[in-house]
Structure 1
Amino acid sequence: MSFSLDSRRRVEGFAFLLAFALCVPVANWMVQNVGTVCHPGGPCLIPVAPGLMSPSAVLMAGLALVLRDLVQRRLGVSWSVVAIAVGGVLSWWVAPPALVVASVAAFLFSELADLAVYTPLQRRRLVLAVVASSIVGLVIDTLIFLWLAFGSLEYTWGQIVGKSWMVLLAIPVIRLLRRRELAMGMQPA
């Protein structure tokens, strides 16, 4: 039984890892191609609240914050760092170098901050760990990305709100995973 739980944990972990790694290049592609408004030489924007716009990459960045926590929970810390690196390498095929550098730097620093908050909380309070670490990560990600990619913090509040929506949408899934873990006796990595 221990083998099957461990195998299941690893399979889920690698699925989360793949999804997380793909968030980086998908975000880089989206910010240039998907939006209700696309500025020449600037980001494509989407509405995230009434009167509040954000670069469209916000959706993938918010999702990535949650997925990083799940990668760590299933596979461990080192796999989270590997996923950031893989996502950065994949981004070189879909985005200009300046955008790749901005997004990889933002992902790296935000995910490391996320990791520092998530790690001590996750064994006892999974939902709190995901929400708290994501909030810290999304603020850092927003400030670094916007400044490096566009030289402006104009869309800060839109980015924070958009990423927060993604974190809030993930909470029911995190609760479900935690309940299933408890029912199965599955332990985090």
Structure 2
Amino acid sequence: MLSVVAANVASVHCPPLVFGGLVVPAGTLFAGASLTLRDLVHDTAGIRGVTAGILTGAGLSAVVAGPQIAVASVLAFTASEVVDARIYARLRHRGRTAAVAASNAAGLVVDSVLFVPLAFGDLAAVPGQLVGKTLATALTLAALHTARWAVSR
């Protein structure tokens, strides 16, 4: 929930980053991290917990980031959650890392393709969103791997 709010606040109040010609809205890394966090919440609180987090995050976002960003966020996160949850649930038996990687890959595409035009009115930032969220997924997967390694020690 807080990563969604942080993503939306950063997207509104911070200028986009530009890397190699890609426009990356400032909230992209937070949004990418939220994809993995959503999978972890899915494991502990189920789909109802994830839904409650998305709706609470949307409400907070409406207050701090504005209604256009909040509506775009709710629509994009809800659609990407449906895709993410189905993939994650099907692959979870193969291990958390594989399930997170696959579900994030699909979820970040759905989220980016919906959020960017709804929030900003064009598709210019979609490639940057895809790259930024992929980077965030790689970082969160590394963190999960490190945590799993630390716990096994």
* 1:105 Cα offset (Å): 0.9
CA contact (8 A) 1:27 1:58 kept: yes
Corresponding residue SS for 1:123: helix
Asked if residue 174 in structure 1 is aligned to residue 144 in structure 2, the reply is yes
Amino acid at match of 1:56: A
Alpha-carbon distance in 2 for matches of 1:51, 1:128: 31
Q: Which amino acid aligns with 2:128?
A: G
Task: State the identity as a percent.
Answer: 37
Cα offset, 1:50, TM superposition: 2.4
Partner of 1:13: none
**Residue 91 of structure 2, aligned match among 114, 121, 128:** 121
Q: Could you list the per-position Cα deviations for residues 50-94 of structure 1 after superposition, in whole angstroms to 9, with x for gaps in the alignment?
A: 222211111111011000001112222221111111111111210
Pairing partner for 2:37 from 67, 80, 94: 67
The equivalent of 1:45 in structure 2 is 16
Distance 2:125 2:62 in 1: 24
- TM-score norm. by structure 2 comes to 0.91
Normalising by structure 1, we get a TM-score of 0.75
1:143 corresponds to which letter in structure 2? V
Judging by fraction of residues, say which structure has more helix. 2
Q: How does 1:15-94 map to 2 (within 5 A)?
A: 21-34=1-14, 44-47=15-18, 49-94=19-64
1:125 is displaced (CA, Å) by 2.1
Question: Following superposition of structure 1 onto structure 2, how do residues 177-188 of structure 1 map, counting pairs within 5 Å?
Answer: 177-179=147-149, 183=152
- In the TM superposition, residue 123 of structure 1 has moved relative to its aligned partner by 2.6
Q: Which runs of 5+ in 1 are unaligned?
A: 1-20, 35-43, 185-189
Structure 1 residue ranges, 4+ long, deviating more than 4 angstroms after superposition: 177-181
Paired residue for 1:159?
A: 129
Residue in 1 aligned with 2:103? 133
How many residue pairs were aligned? 153
Amino acid at match of 1:77: I
Aligned-partner residue type, residue 158 of structure 1? G
CA distance in 1, matches of 2:68, 2:58: 12
> Structure 2 CA distance, aligned partners of 1:111 and 1:93?
22
Q: Tell whether the 8 Å contact from 1:118 to 1:133 is kept in structure 2 after alignment.
A: yes
The alignment yields a C-alpha RMSD, in angstroms, of 1.8
Between Structure 1 and Structure 2, whose CA radius of gyration is higher?
Answer: 1
Paired position in structure 2 for 1:187: none
Structure 2: 5+ residue runs without aligned partners? none
